[in-house]
Amino acid sequence: MNALRLRAPLVGACAVLAAAGCGGGSSASQPAAGRYDAAPAPHLDPYRAGVAYAECMRAHGVPHPDPDRNGDFHLTPAQERRMKTATPKQHEAADKACFHLLAGTVSTQPLSRAARQAALEPLRAVKRCMHRRGYELGTPIVKSLSRGRAMFGFSQSPPPPSDLRSRQRLHAAELACEKSAGLASKLDAIIKADRGEDR
């Protein structure tokens, strides 16, 4: 089974991977949401399932991004900010209404202990990189969540700077450190190996 990933920047917020529906188009009206509730679940095509899920989430008031061609969700900082405009209660209700659309395309099994331990290493690399740039992060965290999801992040992150230029520097450091650590590709590889995926 494919593991559908939803990724957010790890310094300012935790990432949630391995299944959709975390807390990151415009919202559709409430009547539009109803047509997704009884929609048949797409099977075997992660991209189409991901698109259907994202459309359903948006119809339920959560500005969810579309997936990449593999059916994976990767949040940009702008998408993450838009996702946060919906309340946790809205996220939960939308995910409950829409998750059936992912049937047959995502694994809901939790990550193994070995996978969680392996995921700490690229997080530590991000922490070291941020330290070299003058930013201190807390302890790396990998935690299993419901429906096969997992949280990847840190126990604390730098307080958001008050001025725009400092925020831009922090954001640039986040992106550079995640890239230098190979965070995205390493977490994806760990999840795929743990789930026995062949793609």
Check residue 131 and give its pLDDT: 96
Provide the pLDDT for residue 132.
97
The mean pLDDT value for 83-107 works out to: 89
Read off φ and ψ for residue 29, nearest 5 degrees. Answer: -70, 160
| Short-list 160, 184, 187, CA closest to 13 | 160
- Check residue 146 and give its pLDDT: 80
**Residue 157, C-beta contacts closer than 8 angstroms, at least 6 positions apart:** 11, 12, 137, 138
Closest to 119 (Cα-Cα) out of 65, 186, 60: 186
3-state helix, strand, coil in the chain (%, to 5): 50, 10, 45
pLDDT band, very low/low/confident/very high, at 66 (cuts 50, 70, 90): very high
Model confidence at 23, in pLDDT bands (50, 70, 90)?
very low
List beta partners, residue 142. Answer: 152
pLDDT of residue 44: 65
Amino acid at 85: T
- Residues 66-84 have a mean pLDDT of 82
Contacts with 40 (C-beta within 8 Å, 6 or more apart), sequence order:
none
What pLDDT score does 32 carry? 35
Contact 156, 175 (CB under 8 A): no
pLDDT of 141 over the 60 cut: yes
